């Protein structure tokens, strides 16, 4: 399983959140990264109170994806350079950010 740009864009539209780099989930500001938007869609607006979202292992378990994929997705979404990605997560994150820009969802 992977995360697609379409899934993330749909999560932003349904949640009303805006896309923001380097922040997993900031409910008071109404923004999240792509993973945060998916988690909000799956677990509700208080997902950050139920789980420690700063722990990539917890995020990987909540999403059913490998920790490596999660870390690389975040790097791609945040435009952090990874020289030799080990999963498709990096490229999925990059494509997701581009899709959010095209949809006007970014802050």
Give the tens place of pLDDT for each residue, 30-78: 999 999 999 999 999 999 999 999 999 999 999 999 999 999 999 999 9
Question: Can you spell out the DSSP letters for 1-34?
Answer: ----HHHHHHHHHHH--EE-TT-SEETTTTEE-H
Predicted TM-score of the model (pTM) = 0.94
Residue 1 has pLDDT above 90, yes or no: no
Residue 9 in contact with residue 105, Cβ under 8 Å?
yes
Residue 82 DSSP SS3 = coil
Measured in whole angstroms, the distance separating CA 36 from the mean position of its chain's CA atoms is 5
The C-alpha atoms of residue 18 and residue 107 are separated, in whole angstroms, by 6
């Amino acid at each position: 399983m992977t995360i697609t740009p379409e899934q993330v864009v749909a999560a932003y539209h349904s949640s009303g959140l805006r896309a923001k780099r380097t922040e997993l989930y900031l409910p008071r500001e109404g923004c999240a990264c792509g993973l945060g938007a998916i988690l909000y869609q799956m677990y509700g607006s208080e997902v950050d109170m139920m789980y420690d979202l700063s722990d990539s292992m917890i995020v990987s378990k909540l999403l059913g994806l490998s920790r490596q994929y999660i870390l690389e997705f975040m790097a791609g979404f945040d435009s952090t350079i990874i020289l030799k990605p080990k999963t498709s997560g990096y490229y999925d994150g990059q494509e997701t950010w581009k899709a959010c820009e095209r949809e006007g969802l970014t802050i």
